[in-house]
Amino acid sequence: MPVLVMKFGGTSVANLDRIRRAAKRVGVEVAKGYDVIVIVSAMSGKTNELVGWVEETSPLFDAREYDAVVSSGENVTAGLMALTLQEMDVPARSWQGWQVPLKTTSTHSAARIVEIPTANVTQKFAEGMKVAVVAGFQGISPEGRITTLGRGGSDTTAVAFAAAFGAERCDIYTDVDGVYTTDPRICAKARKLDKIAFEEMLELASLGAKVLQTRSVELAMRFGVKLRVLSSFEEQSDEAGTLVCAEEDIMESNVVNGVAYSRDEAKLTLLSVADRPGIAATIFTTLSEAGVNVDMIVQNISEEGRTDMTFSCPTNEVTRAEAALDKIKTDGQLNYGQMIADTEVAKVSVVGIGMRSQSGVAAKMFKVLSGEGINIKVITTSEIKISVLIDRKYMELAVQALHDAFNLDKAA
């Protein structure tokens, strides 16, 4: 039998009624002849509740016990989904990560998948099981301890199972009906995409789009797993949602296919840093070791033998970055004149595989922002994206203006 993977996020299984609705969707696919692997998240809000209990119990918690607690939410959902399917006369069984087993590294709360042996689940399919309901987000370490994959890890679980079992497709059910050209809450003209290339989805996910976890898209691109993003709350057809697939599977595409944004960005500038080999390595090694996620980097010559170094990071990591850099300045490892932090910026990006073959996208983007009176603070580019840092108060205006300028409300 062909295998189909279906993943249901927290809002899709938030209560028993929604679990029944999801189970009916699974039943439809079983009736089509699929052996189905269902990956479930914890009920909406449950993981946050469990994390809160851990932090209240033990502020400096043992990561192994953290994983044991927070993974339990998915176990509850898996059992309830299996029971619901059984009530519908669909042969189903729940599986926790260790039972599959989904083998991971030993990095608790941020483990990476090493291997998913298929023998156990395949044997049960051969014996008549039609649905394997697997608890997402979790696995087992070489030491035999429960591990978790990080927030949003159920998406990664689903794609990994699709790759391991050679699934025909991996359907991700969520509270939106697909991938949009931008956030519909900001731009009323946002349009749902029928298809989007892996590379574009990866850029959008990493730049702030919340539809899919970045690691899940990376995994899908690596193994060629076709992803479909659908809504749990709307009637479905074979053409519903957005298909995330290889570039060659898309006939026509706009030059720019999406506008992404990240609201909680900060810009830090070190003024008058010594301009010599090894300084950048010292700065960014220090930030990495402090757990600061650096994104955009710009270096400018300021005076003879000196340079200014600017970088962006999430606003909630500014204090950590400042402390780390102050320490190496005090220790004499780094000499700079002043550190300036701007915590009122946002990142806005345009993304599209068509940018590889068409010039003028950057010029058009900058002209549009200039026309709206929006000053650009930092620019970075890749083959298929251009990102800028701007004042946060202009973020929504920038997104709307760029969406209009690149005619994203119209299909190619």
Strand arrangement of the beta sheet that strand 103-104 belongs to: 113-115, 103-104, 138-140, 146-148
CA distance 400 to 292: 30
Which residues make Cβ contacts (< 8 Å) with residue 337, sequence separation at least 6?
271, 272, 273
CA distance 203 to 187: 19
Q: Which residues are annotated as a binding site?
A: 7-10, 47, 74, 174-175, 180, 185, 210-211
Q: Do the Cβ atoms of 203 and 262 come closer than 8 Å?
A: no
Torsion of CA 394, 400, 406, 412, to 10 degrees: 150
Torsion of CA 179, 184, 189, 191, to 10 degrees: 10
Neighbour tally for 209: CB within 10 Å: 22
Q: Which residues are annotated as a binding site for substrate?
A: 47, 74
Q: Which residues are annotated as a binding site for ATP?
A: 7-10, 174-175, 180, 185, 210-211
Minimal CA–CA distance to 132: which of 43, 223, 231, 30? Answer: 30
209-213 CB contacts, 8 Å cutoff, 24+ apart: 209/179, 209/183, 209/258, 209/260, 211/174, 211/176, 211/179, 212/155, 212/172, 212/179, 212/244, 213/152, 213/153, 213/155, 213/156
Minimal CA–CA distance to 17: which of 169, 209, 232, 216? Answer: 232
